[in-house]
Amino acid sequence: MPALYIHIPYCLQKCRYCGFVSFPVNYQEEMPSTAGQKDYVPDAYIDALCQEMRETAEQRYFSGDNGYKYTNNIISTVYVGGGTPSLLAAAQLARIIAGVKSVFALADDAEFTLEANPETYTREKFLAYRALGVNRISLGIQSFQPEYLRYLGRAHSREKAAEALRGAREIFDNVSVDLLNNLPGQTLEQSAADLRTALDFQPRHISCYELTVERGTPLATERGTLAAEKTVRNELGAEMYLQTKKILEDHGYAQYEISNYAQAGYASRHNLAYWSDEPYLGLGLAAHSYDKARKLRRANTRDLKNYLQKIFHRESEPENDFNKIMMGLRKNSGIPETYLDERQKAAAQKLVSEELLVWRNNNLCATNRGRLVLNQVLLELM
Ligand code: SF4
């Protein structure tokens, strides 16, 4: 069953490391809305999204599992990401959900995630989201340390992060927290303190990624070209990764992907679809889709003006078979042997002898050591 992603490309402000397709709204400025209330996401964007849904529903070009119309498939997970989807007024989310339900069939037990920035939290809004069917909140906290919140350009304070996390846990059973690791100058103790603060609230799921400074962002300019490269894991980063794994495993969170940990039964079904070569449909600005039946990847326009004018400019390209190896090896459960050709099998065997990969239940998996040098492992498999 396919996964559905919906992109909301608006944020309170642009974080200093952010390379996602997102645009700051003026938090202070009241934007006109048909409902006459203060909305941060223009209604024109919701109009365009609903139009894209209708067009997609008519297409036989982009199909789900069975190579037929997408609408013939039942959607198993919905993920509203961004950007900052928690800028959506409840009425706007209601319109999006009504649009989804008018063209797609949702599974009764569909996982429905909404990404939220702590600064946008209000109890009233989160209650409204729950009433609309959202059953999982992914809270982008990144750090509880004021100095790093400032450094990253996050909109929220430590106190607001705690308030939003407490509130989210009261309203939703399934709450995920995003944290960043290996920040400049960050000590092992600071990283552990962030984890312990998050653990105090017992979220069901924790993602802990290394900071990646994207080219063209203010942080990249400030830190120079070298720093603009994807983060190279240094010794401290490796220690932090191992420490994170130990702390979370000691507290009952199982690692299921290199940067993702969950209590039993709470792994993200939506993200597992991406990492497990499952088809998905992306709607919204710059959203990506994967047509597994036809081995095609498709990207929507990144031009907001075009999108608002309902010009979606979708471009497709053939799927690169290596993607599924790259994504699959990030999962603890690894990849089946059938993903590999003969040359890759020989390369994998060498990596097994070096204890960077291991065969487990007929799947090829990265070992702890292998995960620390996963890029190098992937290069040898290419
Ligand atoms: S909240 Fe997320 S998407 Fe928005 S600017 Fe910050 S990192 Fe980027």
Q: Decide if pLDDT at 30 tops 50.
A: no
pLDDT confidence bin for 224, thresholds 50/70/90: low
Question: Is the CB of 85 within 6 Å of ligand 1?
Answer: no
Quote the pLDDT of residue 213. 82
pLDDT confidence bin for 37, thresholds 50/70/90: very low
Question: Is the CB of 201 within 6 Å of ligand 1?
Answer: no
Q: How confident is the model over 312-364, as pLDDT tens digits?
A: 888 888 888 899 999 999 999 999 999 999 999 999 999 999 999 999 988 99
CA distances from 376 to 154, 256, 306, 365 (A): 32, 21, 39, 15
- Left, alpha or beta for 83 (phi > 0: left; psi -120 to 50: alpha)? left
- Looking from the CA of residue 24, the nearest atom of ligand 1 is 5
Query: In this structure, are residues 118 and 144 in contact, taking their beta carbons and an 8 Å threshold?
Result: no
CA–CA distance, 17 with 220 (Å, rounded to integer):
7
Whether the bond between 133 and the residue before it is cis, its omega within 30 degrees of 0, is no
288-291 and 296-299 beta bridge pairing:
antiparallel
Q: 55-59, 68-72, 246-250: lowest mean pLDDT where?
A: 68-72
315-318 and 296-299 beta bridge pairing:
antiparallel
Q: Taken in order 4, 253, 248, 164, is the CA torsion positive or negative?
A: positive
The closest alpha carbon to 199, from 171, 225, 177, belongs to 177
CA–CA distance, 282 with 298 (Å, rounded to integer):
9
Atom 7 of ligand 1, nearest CA residue:
18
Q: Decide if pLDDT at 64 tops 60.
A: no
Look up residue 351 and give its two tokens.
């990596």
Q: Which residues contact 379 (CB under 8 A, 6 or more apart)?
A: none
Can you list the domains of the chain with their CATH numbers?
3-274 (3.20.20.70), 332-382 (no CATH)
Q: Decide if pLDDT at 184 tops 60.
A: yes
- Looking from the CA of residue 154, the nearest atom of ligand 1 is 6
In a 13 Å sphere around the CA of 54, the CA atoms on its Cβ side amount to 9
Look up residue 27 and give its two tokens.
């938090």
pLDDT confidence bin for 26, thresholds 50/70/90: low
Q: How confident is the model over 99-112, as pLDDT tens digits?
A: 999 988 899 999 99
CA distances from 252 to 202, 226, 245, 359 (A): 10, 38, 11, 25
Atom 2 of ligand 1, nearest CA residue:
83
CA–CA distance, 296 with 55 (Å, rounded to integer):
18
Question: Is the CB of 82 within 6 Å of ligand 1?
Answer: yes
Q: 194-203, 225-234, 308-317: lowest mean pLDDT where?
A: 225-234
Question: Is the CB of 22 within 6 Å of ligand 1?
Answer: yes
Q: How confident is the model over 129-161, as pLDDT tens digits?
A: 999 999 999 999 999 999 999 999 999 999 999
CA–CA distance, 166 with 201 (Å, rounded to integer):
7
Question: Is the CB of 41 within 6 Å of ligand 1?
Answer: no
Q: How confident is the model over 281-302, as pLDDT tens digits?
A: 999 999 999 988 888 899 999 9
Distance of CA 205 to the CA centre of its chain: 13
**How crowded is residue 230: how many other Cβ atoms within 10 Å of its Cβ?**
11
Q: Where does residue 270 rank: exposed (0-12), middle (13-18), buried (19+ CB within 10 A)?
A: buried
Percent of the chain exceeding pLDDT 90 equals 75
The closest alpha carbon to 188, from 142, 235, 141, 150, belongs to 235
- Looking from the CA of residue 19, the nearest atom of ligand 1 is 8
Distance 35 CA to ligand 1 centre (A): 26
pLDDT confidence bin for 72, thresholds 50/70/90: low
Greatest Cα-to-Cα distance within the chain, rounded to the nearest angstrom: 65
Query: In this structure, are residues 369 and 355 in contact, taking their beta carbons and an 8 Å threshold?
Result: yes
What is the average per-residue pLDDT within 157-171?
A: 98
Average pLDDT of the chain is 90
